[in-house]
Amino acid sequence: MIKVFKHDGGVTSEVDRVDPAWLKPNSGVWVWVALESPTPDEARVLSDVFHFHELAVEDALAEVHHPKIESYGDYLYLILHGIDFQASEHCFTTKDVDFFLGAQYLVTVHAGMSRSIDKIGYVCTKDDRVLGEGPGLLMYRIVDTMVDNYLPEIEKLGERLDEMEEEVFEKPNTALARRILDFKRDIASLRRIVLPQRDAVGRLARREFPLISEQLAYRFRDVHDHLVRLSDEAMFFQDRITSILDAHLSAVSNQLNQVMKVLTIIATLFMPLTVLTGMYGMNVHLPHLPGGEGAQFWWILGIMLAMSGAMLAYFRHNRWI
Amino acid sequence: MIKVFKHDGGVTSEVDRVDPAWLKPNSGVWVWVALESPTPDEARVLSDVFHFHELAVEDALAEVHHPKIESYGDYLYLILHGIDFQASEHCFTTKDVDFFLGAQYLVTVHAGMSRSIDKIGYVCTKDDRVLGEGPGLLMYRIVDTMVDNYLPEIEKLGERLDEMEEEVFEKPNTALARRILDFKRDIASLRRIVLPQRDAVGRLARREFPLISEQLAYRFRDVHDHLVRLSDEAMFFQDRITSILDAHLSAVSNQLNQVMKVLTIIATLFMPLTVLTGMYGMNVHLPHLPGGEGAQFWWILGIMLAMSGAMLAYFRHNRWI
Amino acid sequence: MIKVFKHDGGVTSEVDRVDPAWLKPNSGVWVWVALESPTPDEARVLSDVFHFHELAVEDALAEVHHPKIESYGDYLYLILHGIDFQASEHCFTTKDVDFFLGAQYLVTVHAGMSRSIDKIGYVCTKDDRVLGEGPGLLMYRIVDTMVDNYLPEIEKLGERLDEMEEEVFEKPNTALARRILDFKRDIASLRRIVLPQRDAVGRLARREFPLISEQLAYRFRDVHDHLVRLSDEAMFFQDRITSILDAHLSAVSNQLNQVMKVLTIIATLFMPLTVLTGMYGMNVHLPHLPGGEGAQFWWILGIMLAMSGAMLAYFRHNRWI
Amino acid sequence: MIKVFKHDGGVTSEVDRVDPAWLKPNSGVWVWVALESPTPDEARVLSDVFHFHELAVEDALAEVHHPKIESYGDYLYLILHGIDFQASEHCFTTKDVDFFLGAQYLVTVHAGMSRSIDKIGYVCTKDDRVLGEGPGLLMYRIVDTMVDNYLPEIEKLGERLDEMEEEVFEKPNTALARRILDFKRDIASLRRIVLPQRDAVGRLARREFPLISEQLAYRFRDVHDHLVRLSDEAMFFQDRITSILDAHLSAVSNQLNQVMKVLTIIATLFMPLTVLTGMYGMNVHLPHLPGGEGAQFWWILGIMLAMSGAMLAYFRHNRWI
Amino acid sequence: MIKVFKHDGGVTSEVDRVDPAWLKPNSGVWVWVALESPTPDEARVLSDVFHFHELAVEDALAEVHHPKIESYGDYLYLILHGIDFQASEHCFTTKDVDFFLGAQYLVTVHAGMSRSIDKIGYVCTKDDRVLGEGPGLLMYRIVDTMVDNYLPEIEKLGERLDEMEEEVFEKPNTALARRILDFKRDIASLRRIVLPQRDAVGRLARREFPLISEQLAYRFRDVHDHLVRLSDEAMFFQDRITSILDAHLSAVSNQLNQVMKVLTIIATLFMPLTVLTGMYGMNVHLPHLPGGEGAQFWWILGIMLAMSGAMLAYFRHNRWI
C-alpha cells in the first residue's frame, strides 16, 4: 500500500502520485510517501522517482536489518526498529521501519502494520502543521513515537525480573533456571537492537549531516536521551539477570544444604538407636537394668528418648534446626 | 512555589516577579528563580519569561530524568540528582534538580524538598555575596552541596558491605544471598546516577561552554573530582559485592562440606556397630568369647568402643574433627 | 592454476598471459588474474609482472593468515577468509583468499577451491559487465559472495545453540559440558576471523584508500554492515554459550538436589522403622499391645504404615515430592 | 613543621621564611618549602605568600585525596600517594603528599612522616646540586623515591598470593576464603591508588604542561614506566586472586566429593552386611549351610568378608580408593 | 662481551672499537655494536661514545624491563623480550634485548645468550648485505627472528591446553585444578609481555619516528602482524583456560552426582530389606506365609529379591543406572 501526502501553500493533502518536480531543492512543496508492505510495483517509486541507491532500496525492501544511518549525499537513509512484545510475554520481536529523508521529502517503508506511522498518517491530513513543519520534523515525530513505545515494554521486563528475583529464593528449580536463561537472551536481543539505534539517532543529534537543522538536532537529542536511557536500562537488566543466575546456583546449594541437614539429623538420631536395639537383640546374656523384667523395656525406651533429646539439643545449639 | 532573588547594585533582595529587562546581556542585574514543585501556572515563567526550549521545559517539569547537560546556545540546561537514602536502609532514592544557567540568571526547578537549595536560598538574602558572585558561582554552590550530601550515604553503604562480608562467612543463608542481590542492585543504581552526573560536571570543568569562566571551571573541577571519587567508589563496591556473592557460594559449599562430614562420621561410627550387633543377634551357634556368659556382653561392648575409638582417631588424623 | 581475464573495449576475454602495458595507469584495459593453488612458476607473475612487495607475495603464498588490509601505495593488499563449515558439524575451517587491487587490475590468490571465485570466474566471460565495471567492483562481487556464504553457517550454529540450551536442562552430563566447551571454542574462532575481516572491509567502506571510489565505498559499506552483523552475532553466541555453561552447573546442582531428596526420603522413611523392628527384636519382656498374640504383628505393621504415611505427608507439605 | 630551602648562586641553605621576591619569574633563586603536618598558622604561607588557589589549598590541607594533577596556569598542583604497608600484613595504607610546582619553587605538603621527603630534605643542604638542578628535578627525585617504595610491597603481595594459591589446594576452608576476599579488596585499593597516579605522572611525561622541560619529561617518562608496571602488576594480581577464589570453590567441591566417596563406600560395605545378619536373625527356620552348627557362624562371616572384598575391588576398579 | 661490526664501502668487517666519526650523520659508515652481558667497563661505551641518555643506559643494563619504545630525538630506544620456554614445560621465562637505533648505528644489549642475535652476528661478517642494508633493516632482522621464536612455544601451549581440556572431563581432581591455575598464570604472563611488544612494534610500523623509512615500516608492519596474532592467541588461550576452570567445577559436580547416585541406589535397595528382616526378627507371633516352616525363609528371600528388582527397574526407568 502506498500513501502520498503533499504539503503546499500551508495545506496538506493526500494525492495519488509524486510529481518529480516537487522533489527539486526549494520546490516549496513537502512530500511524505509512506509505503506499507509495498508490492514490487509500488516499490518501484523508490528507484524510478526518487532515484535512491540500489543498495538502500534493496535494504529497505528486504526483511530484517540492523538499525543504522547512512548518508547518500543529498538524502539520508535510516533504519530503526519498532518494538513488538508478544502477549505471550516470551518472544521479543521488532520490525524495521526505513526512512529516506531528503530536503523536500520523507519516504517511509515498513512491512506489516506500524502503529506509529498509522497514527501520524491519520493526523497528517487533519492537522496541516504536522507535515507543514517539514519532512525532518515529521521524521522526528515518527521516531519519537516509536521510541516511546519501548518504554512500557521495558517496564514489563523490569517487573518480570523482580518476580524472578523473588522466585529464585523461594523455590529455585530447573524450570526457573531455564526461564532465566531465556530472559537473558531476550535482554541481549533488546540491547542488540537498542544500541545501534541509539548510535544512529546520536549521529542525527550531533548534526553530522547538513540536512539536520539545529532546531531538529535539539529534538533528536531528546530522542537520543531516551535511547541512551533504554540502553542503560538494558545493560542494567543484563547485569541483574547474570547476578540472578549466580544467585540461583547459590540458592540451589543452600537448598541442598537444607536437605542434607535433614538427612544428617535423621541419620544421627536413628543410627545410635538401631545399634542400641541391636545390642538388646543379641543372643547373649544381657546386663540386667534396675527394676523387674517388665521395666527393662521402659528403661531402654527411656535411654533412647534421652539420646534423641541430647542429639536434638546439640543440633539446636548449632542452629541446624 | 516560586521564589525570585535579585542582586542589583551589591544588594540581594527577594522580589515577586522577574522583569524581562534584567535578563538582557550585561543588564547589571543577577537573578535566581527557584521553582519548587511548581504549579502549571508558576511553571509558565520558564517559557513565557525565559523563553526556554519547550523540550527542556518538558524535561524540567517531568518527574525523573537522567543527569545530563545540554547547551541551548545562550543558556545551559543541567539535570543533577540529589541523593536521598531511606532510613529503612533498603531503598535508594534520588531526586532530580534542574538548572537553567544564563549569563544573568539561574533558574532551578525541583519537585519536593531539596535540602541544598533550601539552605542556599536561606543564606542568599542574608549574605549579599552569595548571589553577588554571579549565577555561575551560585550554581556551583548548590551543586557542591548536593554532591557533598552523597558522601555520608556512600560511607553507610561501605559499612553495610563490611557487615555483609562478615556475615557471609559467619552464617551463609538464602536471606543473606537475597540481601546481597538487593545491595548489588542498589549499587548499580547509584552508579547509573553518578556516572552521567560526573560526565555532565566534567564538561563544565573542561570549559566546553563559553558561559563558564576559568575561575568557575576550577570550582567545577573540584566537584568533578568528588564525583570521580564517588563513581570510583561505586565501581569498587560493585566489584566487592560480586566477590561477596561468589564467596557466599563458596561458604555455602563449605558449610555443606561440614554437614556431610558429620553425616559421614556418624554413618562410619554406627554402621559397623549395627553389623556387629546384628551378627550376635543371628539365630545360629555363636562363637564363645573368653569369660563366662555374663562377660560376653561386655566383650562385645568393648569391641564396639574400640572400633569407634579407632574410627575417631582416623578422622582426627584426617583433620575432619 | 592461473587464469587471466582481460576487458578491453567493452569485451571480456580469457587470455593466457598478462601484458605489462595493460597495467599502466589509464591503459584502458582491465585485468583479472586468478591464481588457484599456484605452482612456484605460476606464482612468479606476482613479483615479475606486478612487482608486488616481497612481504605481500610471501603472505599471499603462505598458508594461513589473519584477515587484514594493507596499502602499498598504488595497490591494496587484502586478505579475507572464506568459511567452510564441515559436514561433521564439529570443526570449523576457513580458507584465506588474497586480493591485490590496483587501478587497472585485480589479482586473487587462493589455495584449493573457492566457490565464490569459481562462480564469478564462470560468469566473467559470459557477461562483459562483470569485469567491465572495473576491478574494484569485481573485488566487491567476490567479497560479497564470500560474506554471504557465512550466513547459513551462522544459522546452523544458532540452531545447535538452541539444541544445547534445550539439552542442558533435560539431561545435564559431562559429555554435554564437553560439547559446550568445544562449541565455545568454535565461536571464539569464528569471532577471531570475522572481527579483523570486519575492520578490513570497514576501512574500504570509510574510503581510507584513494583507490576506492565513492560508489565502490557504498558497496563495501553494505558488506561491512553484513560483517558487523556477523560479529555481533558471534559476540551474542559467545555470551549465550557462557550462560549455558553456567546454567549447566546450576542444572547439575539441581539434579544433585533431586538425588539427595530421594536419599533423604528413603532414609527418613526406613530408619525409624528399623529402630521399631529392632525394639521388638530385643530379648527383653516386651509390652503387650491390645489384642491377642496374633494381633501384635498387625499392630506393629499398622504403626509402621502410620509412621511412613506421616513422613510422606510431611514431605508432600514441604513440596519435596 | 615548616622547612624552607633556598638555592641562590650555587649554594643551598635552609632559611626561615620565604621572600616573595624569590618567587618572581627568573629571580635566579630556587625555593623548596616543605610543610609537614602544618599548623593552621604555618599553612597560611600557601595562600599569603604563594597565593595558591583556595581550592588547591583546601585539598592540600585536607586528609585524603585521590592522586591527580591540575594546572593553575603558572603552577601545577599534584597529589601523589606514598605507600605504607602495615607490618601486620593486613591493612594497606597510603598517605598523600601534595606538590605545588612553580617555575622558581616547589612546595610540598604532607601529614605525618614521609620517608621520601625526609631523605631528600636531609641531602638537600649537604649536596648543593639537589636543589641546584631546579624545583622540577627536585620534584622528580621525591616522586621517584616514593614510587620506588612501592616495589618491595608489591613483591610481598605477590608472595602472599603464591602462599594462598598453595593453601587453596592443601586445605580449602572458610577462613581462607575470607582471607582471599580481604586480599582482593587490598589489591583493588592498590589499583585505585596506582591508576590515577600513573595517569597524573603520564601527563607530566607527555609534556602537557609548559613548566616541564624535555629533559624533565624524560625523567617522568621513567617514573611513568614504573607506575605502568605497578598498575599492570596490580591488574595481574586481581586476575589471579579472582581465579584463586574460583579455584577455592572447585577445591571445596572436590573435598566434598572425597567425603561423599568415603560415606558411599562405608554405606555400600555395611548395608548389605546388615541385611545378611538381619536375615539370620529372623525367627524362621533358616536354611542350613554345610558343616555343623558351629560352622554356620564362620560360613556367614566368610560370606560377609567375600562381599566386602568384592565391593572394595569394585571401588578400586573405579579408582575411588 | 662486546662485538663491533662496521660496514664501509660495501664491506662488513668486525673491528674492536667504535670511531666516534662513524656515528656522525651521513658518515657513510654503518655500525652495529652488540653487547652481551657487558662488564661495567664495556658498558661505558654507551655513555662515553654514543652519549645515550643516562636513564636509557640504566634501563639497558638493569635486569628486567617491560617492552617499550622511546624516542630520544636522534635515536630510538627499544626493549623487546625473547622467549625462553623451559624444557620442564612449566616455567615461562623471557629475556629482554635492548636496541638503540640511530641513523648510522644499531646498539644491542642483552644479558646471557640470545639465539637471534648470535645467529645474525654470525652471518653478518659472511654476508655483506646483512649490515649493508642499514642498521634499521638489521634491527628488523633481529626482531623478526625473536618474534618467530615465539610461535613454536605458542603451539606447545595450545597442545597443553587441549590435553587439559581432555583431562578435565576424564578425571577432574585437585591436582588438575592446580595445573589449570598455573597455566592461567603462564598465559597471563605471556600476554603481559606480548602486548607492550605489539604496541612498541606497532609504533615502528605506523612510522611515528622519522628514523623509520617507508620500506622499513612495511617490514615492521609484518612483524606487528605476527605480534597481533600472538596477542590474539594469548587472549584466546586465556578465555579458554577460564572456561576450562569453569568446566572443571561442572565436572566435579557431575562426579559428585554420580557418587551420590550410587549411595542413593545402595541405600534404597538395602534399607527396606533391613526393615523386612527386622520384622521377621521381632519376638512376636509372626504371620505364617504359605508352605511349611522351611519355605518361610525362601518366601522372604523371594520378596526381598522382588523388592530389589522393582527398585532397580525404577532406577533404570529414571536413567540413573
pLDDT by residue, tens only, chain C of 321 residues: 899 999 988 888 888 888 888 888 888 899 999 999 899 998 999 999 999 998 899 888 887 678 899 898 889 999 999 887 554 555 667 888 999 999 999 999 998 778 888 888 888 888 888 888 889 999 999 999 999 888 888 888 888 898 998 898 888 888 888 899 988 988 888 888 899 999 999 999 988 898 899 889 999 999 999 999 899 889 899 999 999 998 999 999 888 888 888 899 999 899 999 999 988 888 888 887 888 888 888 889 999 999 999 989 988 888 777
Packing angle between helix C214-280 and helix A293-317, nearest 10 degrees?
A: 160
- Phi and psi at residue C110, in whole multiples of 5°? -150, 150
Give pLDDT tens digits for B22-38.
888 888 899 999 999 89
Cα gap E1→E39, rounded to integer Å = 7
d(C-alpha D66, C-alpha C183), whole Å: 45
pLDDT for A12 equals 87
Classify E143 as helix, strand or coil: helix
Element (H, E) at D216: helix D214-280
A254/B192 touch (CB, cutoff 8 Å), yes or no? no
Residues 24-63 in A contacting C (C-alpha not used; CB under 8 Å): 53, 55, 59
pTM of the model: 0.84
Residues of chain E with pLDDT under 50: 87
Which of C273, C275, C308, C320 to substitute to test the interface with A, most A CBs within 10 Å? C275
Kind of pairing, strands E29-36 and E105-110?
parallel
- Residues D284/E300, Cβ–Cβ less than 8 Å: yes
What is the Cα–Cα distance from D265 to D268, expressed in whole angstroms?
5
Of the residues C171, C277, C279, C285, the best mutation for testing chain E's interface (the one with the most E CB atoms within 10 Å of its CB) is C277
Cα separation, E247 vs D245, whole angstroms: 15
Picking from D74, D77, D76, D100, the residue whose alpha carbon sits closest to that of residue D18 is D100
Residue, of A284 and B93, whose pLDDT is higher: A284
Q: Determine whether the interchain pair A279/B283 forms a contact, defined as Cβ–Cβ distance below 8 Å.
A: no
Q: What is the DSSP letter of A21?
A: G
Angle between helices D214-280 and D150-170 (to 10 degrees): 10
Name the band, by pLDDT with cuts 50, 70 and 90, for residue B10. Answer: confident
Instruction: Average the pLDDT over B291-305 and give the result.
Output: 87
B106 pLDDT exceeds 90? Answer: yes
Contact residues, chain A, for C283 at CB < 8 Å: 280-283, 286
Q: Do C169 and A178 touch (CB under 8 A)?
A: yes
Q: Which of C198, C199, C201, C182 is closest to C230 using CA atoms? A: C198
pLDDT at B53 over 60: yes
A266 touches chain B (CB under 8 A): no
Asked if A96 and A64 count as a contact pair (C-beta separation under 8 A), the reply is: yes
- For chain B, how big is the Rg over CA atoms in Å? 35
Interchain CB contact of B134 with D (< 8 Å):
no
Grid cell, residue B247, equals 564467596
pLDDT score at D89: 53
Chain B residues closer than 8 Å to A267 by CB: 263, 266-267
pLDDT over 70 at D91, yes or no: no
pLDDT attached to residue A90 = 55
pLDDT at E62: 84
**B76, B190, B255, B256, best to mutate vs chain A, most A CBs in 10 Å:** B256
Give the pLDDT mean for D220-228: 91
* A residues 169..198 contacting B (CB < 8 A): 169
Give contacts of A256 with chain C, Cβ < 8 Å: 253, 256-257, 260
Q: How far is A253 from chain B (nearest CA, A)?
A: 7
Q: List Cα–Cα distances, E95 to A127, D150, D231, E64, E296, in angstroms.
A: 77, 24, 21, 7, 84
The per-residue pLDDT for C99 is 95
Q: Is B221 on the interface with D (CB under 8 A)?
A: yes
3-state helix, strand, coil in chain D (%, to 5): 60, 15, 20
Residue C79 · residue C136 · CB < 8 Å: no
Decide if C83 contacts C150 (C-beta within 8 A): yes
The answer to whether residue D260 neighbours chain E at the CB level (below 8 Å) is yes
Residues 6+ apart with CB under 8 A from C210: none
- Of E170, E176, E191, nearest to E237 by C-alpha is E191
Q: Is B240 on the interface with D (CB under 8 A)?
A: yes
Nearest CB to A53; choose among C165, C218, C267:
C218
The pLDDT of residue E87: 47
Q: Which position has the grid cell 525404577? A: E314
CB-CB neighbors (< 8 A) of B275 in chain D:
270, 273-274, 277, 304
| Chain C: closest CA distance from residue E216 (Å) | 11
A80/B283 Cα distance (integer angstroms): 87
Q: What is the mean pLDDT of residues D16-21?
A: 87
Whether D87 shows a pLDDT value over 80: the answer reads: no
Instruction: Please say whether the beta carbons of A98 and A109 come within 8 A.
Output: yes
> Using CA atoms, how far apart are residues A271 and D274, in angstroms rounded to an integer?
12
Residue-wise pLDDT tens digits, E153-172: 888 888 889 999 889 888 88
Residues of A in contact with C165 (CB under 8 A): 181
**pLDDT tens, residue by residue, D299-314:** 899 999 999 999 899 8
Neighbours of chain C (3+ CB pairs under 8 A): A, E
In the structure, what pLDDT confidence band is assigned to residue A85 with cuts at 50, 70 and 90?
A: low
What is the nearest CA distance from C174 to chain E, expressed in angstroms?
6
pLDDT of residue A106: 94
Yes or no, beta carbons of B274 and A271 under 8 Å apart: yes
